[in-house]
Structure 1
Amino acid sequence: MDDAAIPRTTAEPDLRDVVRWLTDQASGSPPATEQAITDGLDNHLISIVRSHNTPSTIWRFRAGQQAYVLKAQLGRGTVLRRELRWYLRAAAVGLPRGLFVVGQEGPAFTFLVLRQFGDTATLDDAALAGWTADNLHGHLRRAAAMNATLFRRTRRRVPVETVHRVAARRVAKRVAEGTSYPYLLPLLTGQTVTVNGRPLQGLARSWRDVVDRKSVVRLLTPAEIGLIFGDMHCGNILVDGSGTEVVDPRGGPLLPTAYDLGKLVQSVEGGYGAIMAGRYRLRCTAEDEYEIDVDTPPGYAALATWLHQGLGDHRYQQALYQAAQHFLAMLPHHASARRETVALALSGILQFERLREALAG
């Protein structure tokens, strides 16, 4: 690791020591272990965070007087490698480094070091804590502006069919993965799933209703792609006073802006953050009949109106379509948490119903 790659900070000596050790360990040939990384951080360590729906583990550590976040994926996993490449590519097109300090791909593990931002509260945290829409709106607008800047510097036109084909392959793969879980099969492929008293189609059937109609696909699929964050839901938007940062970018192919607008719709209308926080009530009243009540924060209701008005009907429909697909595509990643995954599937079914209503209106 070239020391020049580490920006100078008041924590420079301690930070360089930590990064040199991580680089040496990542370059080793046998796969590392979480415990080995934990032991190596030693008295720098603050805490460890794990999640069932991501392959990375997060260590919070201190160097000098400053706090940092270490993300690492063990072995030759690809998810964090793509994220690291995203940061490097964004820097190459002139996006400020923001929280990114340094990273390294290696056979033992891949890692990223980021500056800790405030107390790492997210926009979802703020909304669930009762922030008003006026306070939430500024952060959402700044995050969207960062994405728009990235996109403008990298965008290019491509045939609608190309954009749709990439998205359809991704969703079809996730549907196949989801149907390997017996409890998800009726929610995905059912002719009728009753949600809060309304008979609706299963999630995969709803998706097929869209993709089997070429005119609807052309309406809902943008013809421009570029570099965007790629996972800009409100749980990845960090807030601290008037400061805003976005974390956990999705490395991979260039995408339309509707992809991340769909992430925002998924958060403010679909209740994604509330479900992930366990803020919902779910009952199965009979076979394929469910009642779900998600505690969507009041501040998000006004944000949903702002999103719709700001985007206009056509772009809002494109974002709503992406939001519904996001719920469908994420199910295999959450499937080990059955109740949560059922709630996500039901929210996806409701999003597709909103899309049908938007198209009909």
Structure 2
Amino acid sequence: MDSPAIPRTTAELDLRDVVHWLTHQASGSPPRTEQAITDCLGNHLISIVRSHNTPSTIWRFRAGQQAYVLKADVGRGAALRLELRWYLRAAAVGLPRGLFVLGQEGPAFTFLVLRQFGDTATLDDAALAGRTAADLQGHLRRAAAMNATLFRRTRRRVPVEAVHGVAAHRIDKRVAESMSYPYLLPLLTGRTVTVNGMPLQGLMRSWRDVVDRKSTVRLLTPAEIGLIFGDLHCGNILVDGSGTEVVDPRGGPLLPTAYDFGKLVQSVEGGYGAIMAGRYRLRRIAEDEYEIDVDTPPGYAALAAWLPQWLGDHRYQQALYQAAQHFLAMLPHHASARRETLALALSGMLQFQRLREALAG
């Protein structure tokens, strides 16, 4: 794919040089290494970030007066290729480019360059720092509005069964991967697991309780799909003053907006961001009994009371269902971090319980 031209202002000359090297090297046939990318950035480099739950490496670097973020997968990284295609597709339907500069798919590596937004603080960071519920709500609304704009320009109606079939395939695949981790089996296949003194169904029984009832599937599955961010949890919503941006979109099939509302519920009610930040306490009492205490920021506690009103009962139920699925689906991606993954699995059980209560109420 051709790379868009880089502005030739004085402040951007260094960026042009970096991008020229990246584009040339990405299209080469010999495999490149992360060290080669680091060497290319040289004294432009600010920091390197790696995470156990994503194959991409992130380089933060400065060119001229602007800071940038470079994401790269060495080799044929599927996830980053899909993310790059998402940005190009969003631009094609008229979404402002925002932070996106350019990217390149290549046999040596795939890369994506974004402008850095503020100090890269997330909505989770703002909540944990004690920002008010009104402030957090404003950012969340703006992020949801960006999603709604995308969705309106690309939406189409499809059979409910087709939408849920995509979800069921995803869950079946991720559960099969999770089954290879023996420590997760009691939580996945157990009839009952006690969490904080409450007897809860194991994750697969909770999942089957929904999918085996056609009326419940139809209630909880929207019949419209479109282009959305696809990973709109609060750790991907960047905040800077009153400004809001969203990063790390997930390429792939068109999805219902409930998918991303579920990501927001997962963050605000499910404690996803606090778990990822290590702000929780977990104690295993027996093989099928746990206690977990997740640090919920006061701002999120207030948002949790607001979310059902904002979404309405039906959309909130759909979002709860998606949030429970998200916890279940992400387990194999985090499984190398055992304690964190146990916390995610237990939070998924609690989310399924909230869904049962919402449906009963």
TM-score for the superposition, normalised by structure 1: 0.98
The 2-side partners of 1:24 and 1:70 are apart by 15
Deviating above 6 A after TM superposition, structure 1's stretches of 4 or more consecutive aligned residues are: none
Corresponding position of 1:310 = 310
Corresponding position of 2:161 = 161
Counterpart of 1:5 in 2: which secondary structure? coil
Corresponding position of 2:101 = 101
Would the aligned equivalents of 1:7 and 1:101 in 2 still touch at CA under 8 Å? no
Deviation at 1:12, TM superposition (A): 1.8
- 1:23 counterpart = 2:30: no
Counterpart of 1:11 in 2: which secondary structure? helix
Corresponding position of 2:36 = 36
**Which residue identity lines up with residue 239 of structure 2 in the other structure?**
V
Closer/same/farther in 2, CA of residues 9 and 325 from structure 1, 3 Å limit: farther
Corresponding position of 2:291 = 291
The 1-side partners of 2:116 and 2:318 are apart by 34
The 2-side partners of 1:7 and 1:166 are apart by 41
Closer/same/farther in 2, CA of residues 192 and 2 from structure 1, 3 Å limit: closer
Deviation at 1:118, TM superposition (A): 0.3
Closer/same/farther in 2, CA of residues 302 and 8 from structure 1, 3 Å limit: farther
Corresponding position of 1:50 = 50
Deviation at 1:306, TM superposition (A): 2.0
Cα deviation per residue 1:231-255 (whole Å; 9 max; x = unaligned)? 0000000000010000000000000
Deviation at 1:7, TM superposition (A): 4.9
Would the aligned equivalents of 2:231 and 2:263 in 1 still touch at CA under 8 Å? yes
Corresponding position of 1:173 = 173
Aligned-residue Cα RMSD (Å) equals 1.1
Deviation at 1:29, TM superposition (A): 1.1
Would the aligned equivalents of 1:3 and 1:16 in 2 still touch at CA under 8 Å? no
Counterpart of 1:51 in 2: which secondary structure? coil
Corresponding position of 1:330 = 330
Deviation at 1:40, TM superposition (A): 1.2
The 2-side partners of 1:334 and 1:33 are apart by 24
1:67-82 superposed matches below 5 A: 67-82=67-82
Q: Which piece of structure 1 moves more, 156-165 or 1-10?
A: 1-10
The 1-side partners of 2:13 and 2:214 are apart by 59
Deviation at 1:5, TM superposition (A): 3.3
Would the aligned equivalents of 1:164 and 1:217 in 2 still touch at CA under 8 Å? yes
Would the aligned equivalents of 1:232 and 1:246 in 2 still touch at CA under 8 Å? yes
Would the aligned equivalents of 2:8 and 2:16 in 1 still touch at CA under 8 Å? no
**Which residue identity lines up with residue 231 of structure 2 in the other structure?**
D
Cα deviation per residue 1:174-221 (whole Å; 9 max; x = unaligned)? 000001100001111110111001111111221111111110000000
**Which residue identity lines up with residue 279 of structure 2 in the other structure?**
R
Counterpart of 2:250 in 1: which secondary structure? coil
1:116-127 superposed matches below 5 A: 116-127=116-127
Counterpart of 2:184 in 1: which secondary structure? helix
The 2-side partners of 1:21 and 1:248 are apart by 24
> Which consecutive residues of structure 1, in runs of 5 or more, have no partner in the other structure?
none
Corresponding position of 1:210 = 210
The 2-side partners of 1:26 and 1:117 are apart by 25
1:333-344 superposed matches below 5 A: 333-344=333-344
**Which residue identity lines up with residue 19 of structure 1 in the other structure?**
V
> What percentage of aligned pairs have identical amino acids?
89
Counterpart of 2:352 in 1: which secondary structure? helix
The 1-side partners of 2:3 and 2:165 are apart by 42
TM-score for the superposition, normalised by structure 2: 0.98
> Which consecutive residues of structure 2, in runs of 5 or more, have no partner in the other structure?
none
The 1-side partners of 2:3 and 2:78 are apart by 25
Deviation at 1:28, TM superposition (A): 1.3
Matched length = 361
